[in-house]
Chain A
């Protein structure tokens, strides 16, 4: 039989499974490329994305300006690169914090059940029915437009989905023998919830995070487009499209809306492929 020590792990097996899925790899590569481009923005362009140069307004793509300039004379390629930073960060941070809230709520809901669960479900329903846009309008009205406000709103309005996923997974795992085994050993509730049950819910949650990241990037673009997102000088992909909102620009300077559009589309597509791959990995093992 086996003589050597064989350190294997579920993680390694999952990774192997993921790497055999070509679409997932493609998605991962796309996402990674966009992230790297954003991180290394200063190395990839000499221009400052906020530098306004009225003499260079609406220049077409050239050797000097790779994608041309916008109607304030700012280099488009630089704005795309730096804009990526903010868009991706907003997407990621929002989905991570929404997931964190949802996971904690789901664990408590699922493990304790009863009244606690009922209360949390009620709160979750209230939040679900509240329209996100109205909430943003209100908060922007009071506190102004900022990245932090947007992330906050996304988190507060986005935890319910994860809550439901985690809750149902925990309810199904709660009666399992390995949980009873923990109770029989005297392990406490919070330890059981967060150290034993939570890792078993990682699968669906990771998938949810990847997919909602893409969702939030789109949401940010949408909100910025209607003027409720980050301030217009700050470059985000949504803001760039927002600035290209006139008929003249749309017809005569297509780079101004094509470039950010393509960036958003690529990112969302890549994340979706990656998310699908992750879902396949976690689905069959669990």
Chain B
């Protein structure tokens, strides 16, 4: 891959329409952590943080991943960026027209693909090295990926800061001189300075005030259009996820329980958990919500997942089969694009498509 110099960077505004091209194909990803007990550190079980997750992300879209604590969405996000090494499965990523498994790349190819998939973290206070100024934080990744000489890189940094509505001379400042919202902009600018194609956003606005949150979300939408980005947007706030996403994946205890277009999931949700989740979200309109579904019991921990369907102990519509057999993620309509892992939505007797 040749060097992308400063001038080329500034001219390279790609407008990408949402396409059906698959950029990321997650297949059967598992991330298990062994539970060791006893003096001899015997493995007695596994924490199944991510348990057999598969889905595709299309170029230019925003896929939202939503779920409560312990559902594995953050672990999944970090697996995609290869901060965690999955226990099993494939991550197929299309780079330069070629599809390859990110987990089996050699060192050099692995290094090159790092440029293309970037991540924005939840806590803007922890994501920037307090000892370095903004210039040096941005400069190193640009330098090792060959983005031209010092002057050209400085120009790139200035341009990125402008893009996130910050003054270029802020690059000489240190992280502690910025507010939370400004720091998150800097983190976004840093991630995008490498010109990635896919950006994983791990709860990027959860730590911010409401008014700042709106600024950042709008900024992210603008940048997506301007730079032709694909987002994997991970959050626990369903309202935010719904605002940002084209498609939504709902996770529970390490599995995807529902996957579909944003409107479909909201208007015609298939899984009882999604229904409960939607009904639990408080709406800032008085008297808007009449009936709320209240789940009994706690959000379970992934250490001891129940047999059969992971949601069955709390499900108001639990059937006998749910306690025995774990449902597969399928579409009730042949060839449909709205999937649910639920025996109610996909009765066993009815033949369905993947």
Contacts and interface: CB of A to CB of B under 8 A. Distances in A.
Judged by CB atoms under 8 Å, the answer to whether A and B touch is yes
Contacts of A184: 81-83, 114, 117-119
A251 interface: no
B152 interface: no
5 pairs of A and B residues whose beta carbons are closest in the complex = A186-B114, A185-B141, A177-B127, A177-B126, A199-B131
* Contact residues of A: prevailing secondary structure: helix
B264 interface: no
A199 B132 CA distance: 9
B194 A200 contact: no
A240 B284 CA distance: 82
B144 interface: yes
14 contacts: A5-B169, A8-B174, A10-B130, A10-B174, A177-B121, A178-B126, A178-B128, A182-B141, A183-B83, A184-B83, A185-B140, A186-B114, A196-B129, A199-B132
B126 A176 contact: yes
A66 B353 CA distance: 102
B115 interface: yes
Contacts of B115: 185-186
A286 to B, nearest CB: 8
A186 B144 contact: yes
B141 A187 contact: yes
B144 A187 contact: yes
Interface in A150-196: 176-178, 180-187, 191, 195-196
Sorting the interface of chain B by its residue count into under 10, 10 to 19, 20 to 34 or 35 or more gives: 35 or more
Interface residues of A, number: 24
A115 interface: no
Interface in B67-121: 78, 81-83, 110-111, 114-115, 117-119, 121
B174 to A, nearest CB: 6
A55 interface: no
Interface of A: 5-10, 176-178, 180-187, 191, 195-196, 199-200, 202, 286
A62 B81 CA distance: 77
B83 A200 contact: no
Given A178-B128, A184-B119, A200-B131, A8 B114 contact: no
A155 to B, nearest CB: 27
Given A10-B131, A177-B127, A181-B190, 14 more contacts: A8-B173, A8-B177, A9-B133, A10-B174, A177-B126, A181-B119, A184-B118, A185-B144, A185-B145, A185-B194, A186-B141, A196-B132, A199-B131, A200-B129
A9 to B, nearest CB: 6
B324 interface: no
Contacts of B131: 10, 199-200, 202
Nearest to A180: B83
A6 B167 CA distance: 12
A178 B119 CA distance: 11
A6 B134 CA distance: 13
Q: Which of A6, A186, A196, A286 has the most CB of B within 10 A?
A: A186
Nearest to A1: B167
B176 interface: yes
Contacts of A181: 119, 121, 127, 187, 190
B173 A6 contact: yes
A185 B138 CA distance: 10
A99 to B, nearest CB: 18
A196 B132 CA distance: 8
Contacts of A10: 130-131, 174, 176
Contact of B172 (A5, A185, A196): A5
B25 interface: no
A116 B117 CA distance: 31
A186 B81 contact: no
Nearest to B128: A178
A191 B129 CA distance: 14
Interface in B272-295: none
A49 to B, nearest CB: 44
B52 interface: no
B123 interface: yes
Interface string B46-82: 0000000000000000000000000000000010011
A196 B117 CA distance: 21
Nearest to B171: A5
A267 B177 CA distance: 38
Contacts of A177: 121-123, 126-127
Contacts of A178: 126-129
A27 to B, nearest CB: 25
A212 to B, nearest CB: 23
Contacts of B126: 176-178
Interface in B235-282: none
Nearest to B118: A184
B111 A186 contact: yes
A6 to B, nearest CB: 7
Among A177, A180, A196, the most chain B Cβ lie within 10 Å of the Cβ of A177
